[in-house]
Amino acid sequence: MANPRDRVAWVQPLAGDGGSGGSHRRQAVPPRRQRVLRALERRLGLALEEAAAVQSLDGCSDLVALLPRLGRLCPAESTRLFLFENDRISCVAQLQADPATGTASDDDRPEREIEQAVSAGRPAIVEPAIRYLAPASHPLNWLVLPLAGGGVKHGALVLERRELFSGEDLTVMTVYTALLGERMTSAAREAHVDRQQRELEQHLLSQRRLLEINERLLSNVDPAGVLDLIADSLKSLVSYDNLTIYRVDAEAAVLRPVLARDRFAALILSMTLPIGRGITGSVLARGAAECVNDAHRDPRANLIAGTPMEDESLVVVPLRVGGDVVGTLNVGRMGEEGHFSPHEFELVKLFAGQASIALANVEAHRALWARAETDALTGLRNRGAFEQDLEHALGDPRLASVLLLMIDLDDFKLYNDCHGHLAGDRVLRTVGEVIGAVGGAGYRYGGDEFAVIVSNGTATDAAAMSRLLATGMASIVHTGETPLTASVGAALFPEVAASKDALVAAADAELYRCKARSDGLAAADLRPN
């Protein structure tokens, strides 16, 4: 009979143990159990080494790269990687150790039990419901190992082989995947913090840019300049492929494009959109901005005639002046991947608010300048506007000539003395209407003097306009009163005069020659001196 000591390893007492002279012995551990524990210890150590050797777990590709190494920890004929996406679990990768052996078909796999184990987040060994006694059958077994950490489920590893999985396999792989799960959670949290940090930095940068843009917008009171600045400034905040600004024409019930940055810009600017049609019409009706990714699939999409149907995402924001919607800012991005993010949508809305303020500022300045350049009594532009417009016309290379008419009412002081200043004011207002109706740009030069600038005007135009003025003047005073007449002097640029002052002097000289003849409303000689 074999000595029991050959099958049982005894653990020697430590020095200083109490008891009867150190003769007390601890509980014996069978050698087989010791070998099992040592093997388990080695496998656990290897699992820890493998987990520690993982450099990065930032994405699916990093996990797929680990699959070939799992055979060192627990051999398997096939390994599948499952990941959660939008709360749904799906297999994203599969590694087959030996392609010649084949794998189980989907019908053979207990997919329901596997998915239940993955969803529950608990490791499990899944065995076939029926195990045949015939040794040649070799049914498949599965080891389900959830990847989870910190209360976050990422997915699972599912190992498949014909040999039974042991409790040791379960223990070793559970330790390994638990470490991987914690690493995945940590990496995801770091990525989330980094993403939040980048978003915060981008948000702060965007706010600084918005403030800078706002200063530039408010300092620009030129209508065309502001529109161009809006288009250029938005590009620095949110990338886009096309931009259109529409203004509401309530009287015509249409949207008129005033700026287009698009490869079809000329076509877009030549057309109007009926109010109430398309995505833009919906935004106008609701008065609320919309971000419509994949706008070409939206049933409200309104294709502009002459442009192709293309994948496009669209942001449409109403523009307001004084609380009223006066237009829209439409920003588009082409392609299936051209979606606008929520952050970009918010930026466009904020920018549109600044653009609305800038447009209101332009409108206010334009109204102010119009009042400053308009004669309050006659409604014609005043002397300051005349000086500015004449200089601009003479410097315009597109004009071949400029006709200037200077008009002075004859004996208007006598009319004022006879009928009073209120009657005189009524006459001046009517004269303003007559001058405004004869063509060209009319001005009240001062007192009872007026001027008309005609771009590309001719001597024939001067004669025709003089006749219209005569007819208009004759109808101003009541029947029986002294007829109202005026003297007119005309001069042509560049034939008669080559500068602004010379042109005004030439027209004035002809006016007084006309007045000296006392025949009224005679167009002076336009021939060069």
Q: Name residues whose C-beta falls within 8 Å of residue 18's C-beta, 6 or more positions apart in sequence.
A: 24
Query: pLDDT value at position 469?
Result: 84
Find residue 292's DSSP bridge partners. 314
Q: DSSP per residue over 159-184, as a string?
A: EEESSPPPHHHHHHHHHHHHHHHHHH
Copy the structure tokens of residue 414.
């006598």
C-alpha span between 321 and 360 (Å, rounded): 5
Q: DSSP per residue over 103-136, as a string?
A: ---TTTS-HHHHHHHHHHT--EEE--S---SSTT
Copy the structure tokens of residue 480.
């029986």
Query: pLDDT value at position 480?
Result: 56
Closest CA to 350 of 365, 364, 323, 329: 329
Q: Name residues whose C-beta falls within 8 Å of residue 413's C-beta, 6 or more positions apart in sequence.
A: 448
Residue 375: count of CB within 10 angstroms of its CB? 20
Query: pLDDT value at position 392?
Result: 92
Write out the chain's pLDDT in tens, 529 residues.
444 433 333 334 444 444 445 455 566 778 878 887 888 888 888 888 888 888 777 778 888 888 888 888 999 999 999 888 877 888 888 988 776 665 555 556 777 877 777 777 789 888 876 555 555 456 888 999 999 888 888 889 999 998 889 999 999 999 999 898 888 888 888 888 888 788 777 766 766 776 676 666 666 667 677 778 888 888 888 899 999 989 899 899 999 998 899 999 999 999 998 998 899 999 998 999 999 999 999 999 888 888 888 999 999 999 887 788 989 999 999 998 899 999 899 988 888 887 877 777 777 767 777 788 889 899 999 999 999 999 999 999 999 999 999 999 888 888 888 888 898 898 899 999 999 888 899 999 999 999 999 999 998 999 899 888 888 877 776 655 666 788 889 999 998 888 999 999 999 999 888 887 755 444 433 333 3
Query: pLDDT value at position 268?
Result: 92
37: left (phi over 0), alpha (psi -120 to 50) or beta: alpha
Q: Name residues whose C-beta falls within 8 Å of residue 317's C-beta, 6 or more positions apart in sequence.
A: 283, 289, 328, 329, 331, 348, 349, 352
Query: pLDDT value at position 89?
Result: 80
Q: Name residues whose C-beta falls within 8 Å of residue 448's C-beta, 6 or more positions apart in sequence.
A: 408, 409, 412, 413, 428
Cis peptide bond prior to 68, omega within 30° of 0: no
Copy the structure tokens of residue 430.
């009517």
Copy the structure tokens of residue 454.
């005609």
Cβ-contact 306, 267 below 8 angstroms:
yes
C-alpha span between 166 and 466 (Å, rounded): 113
**pTM as predicted:** 0.49
CA distances from residue 147 to 75, 157, 219 in whole angstroms, order as listed: 19, 7, 58
Query: pLDDT value at position 5?
Result: 38
- Evaluated on CA atoms 190, 193, 197, 199, the torsion sign reads positive
Copy the structure tokens of residue 217.
């917008």
H/E stretch holding 244: strand 242-249
Closest CA to 400 of 343, 461, 351, 451: 461
DSSP 49: H
C-alpha span between 26 and 41 (Å, rounded): 22
CA count, 13 A, side-chain hemisphere, 217: 26
For 84-111, letters b (16+ CB in 10 Å) and e give beeeebeeeeebebeeeeebbeeeebbe
Find residue 331's DSSP bridge partners. 243, 315
